[in-house]
Structures are given as structure tokens and as C-alpha cells.
Amino acid sequence: GQNIDQPTEMTATEGAIVQINCTYQTSGFNGLFWYQQHAGEAPTFLSYNVLDGLEEKGRFSSFLSRSKGYSYLLLKELQMKDSASYLCAVNGAGNNRKLIWGLGTSLAVNP
């Protein structure tokens, strides 16, 4: 079967660093997306990885290991506004209609 696992909830402190993990088992792989979703709002695109390694975008970085079926999203210098749900999605075939979504990790940033 096809499956994506993420922790359900995480808590961190303002100014700290947090790592949100995502493991996946899919029949194909053509890239992994991370989206951020604030409560009551739409998901917004954060990052995309298709090759192994780290992609850095400001305070956010995303890592991929295809051999391990593993990715993480790293958030540095946490701010209160980073409190949100973080969704991992795998493109299991060469087309977005085959996106497989994780259930999301709800991150609470405390002062």
C-alpha cells in the first residue's frame, strides 16, 4: 500500500529549531512537497524535493533521502506565526493528481 507518516503534534519554543519528520512508502516517487496550513486557512506551498539532500529557503529547510523514504522540514528561529499544521505530500507518479498526502503535523510554538 501507499502510506505517509508524520507525527500528529509537536511543541516548540519561540526562537528554537524544530524538525518535522515524514516517512513514506509509495509505489513510485517523483518528488515530495511540504505545505503549511494555518488553522481555518488553505495550505500554502513551502518546498519541493526530488533529489537527495537539503534545500534551504530562509528559515525553512527541507531534506530528502530517497533510499530511506524519509524527509524532514527544519524550521529555525521559530516565531509564533509558525504555529500551524505542516503537510507532507508525495508525488507517486509524474502527475499532481497522484499526490499522496500525510495527515499533517500540528506545531504549537510557545513563547
- List of residues contacting another protein (CB under 8 A): 30-31, 33, 35, 41-45, 48, 50, 87, 89, 91, 94-97, 99, 101-104
81: which DSSP letter?
Answer: G
Kindly give the pairing relationship between strand 9-13 and strand 105-110.
Answer: parallel
**Residue whose CB is less far from another protein, 47 or 78:** 47
Quote the least distance from Cβ 93 to another protein, whole Å: 9
**Residue whose CB is less far from another protein, 78 or 104:** 104
Give me the DSSP letters along 87-111: EEEEE-SSSGGGEEE---EEEEEE-
**Residue whose CB is less far from another protein, 69 or 104:** 104
**Residue whose CB is less far from another protein, 6 or 78:** 6
**Which amino acid, 21?**
N
* Block residue for cell numbers 524519509: 70
Quote the least distance from Cβ 15 to another protein, whole Å: 29
What nine digits make up the cell of 63? 531534506
Quote the least distance from Cβ 91 to another protein, whole Å: 6
Quote the least distance from Cβ 45 to another protein, whole Å: 4
Distance CA 25, CA 97 (A): 17
